[in-house]
Amino acid sequence: MKTLLNIAGVLALLLALAGLFLPLLPTTPFLLLASACFARGSSRLHRWLLHHRVFGVYLRNVEAGNGIPLRAKILALAMMWASLAYSIVRFDHLGLRIGLLATGCAVSIYLWRYLPTLRTVDKG
């Protein structure tokens, strides 16, 4: 099971990295997924991710219960919904459209209702 979690974590991390460069691919949800997978699959990879110079501050704040900055929430949701809207229009399969819409709604509800908004910025 740990091997599957680590593979899922690596795939999520690769998607998060791609999201840095591809405008319609959100980074934040994939980064959070990678962290969650590594937390259960590999303490070494989880520790590495928490101390990463770019991603570490955000992940430490989320894991401490402080949340993510409002700007990151808005950007993640805007990019996710732009990507989902494109996909929904592009594909004709009704089941796929419903699945994409349901996923988008679930992620949006989670980000706005259950993931706190960071009030102060952690500099280290």
- 38 SS3 class: helix
- 24 SS3 class: coil
Q: Tell me, yes or no, whether 64 lies in a domain.
A: yes
Number of domains in the chain: 1
Q: Tell me, yes or no, whether 32 lies in a domain.
A: yes
**CB proximity list for 77: less than 8 A, separation 6 or greater:** 107, 108, 111, 112
pTM over the 0.95 mark:
no
Q: Compute φ and ψ for 120, nearest 5 degrees.
A: -125, 150
Q: Tell me, yes or no, whether 30 lies in a domain.
A: yes
Mean pLDDT of 2-10: 95
pLDDT tens string 77-110? 888 898 889 989 999 999 999 999 998 999 899 8
Q: Tell me, yes or no, whether 120 lies in a domain.
A: no
Tell me, what's the pLDDT at 49?
Answer: 95
pLDDT tens string 27-66? 878 898 999 999 999 999 999 999 999 889 889 988 888 8
Q: Tell me, yes or no, whether 57 lies in a domain.
A: yes
Q: Tell me, yes or no, whether 65 lies in a domain.
A: yes
pLDDT bracket for residue 23 (50, 70, 90): low
**CA–CA distance, 61 with 89 (Å, rounded to integer):** 36
Which structural domain range is residue 62 located in? 2-114
Counting residues of the chain whose pLDDT is more than 90, the rounded percentage is 48
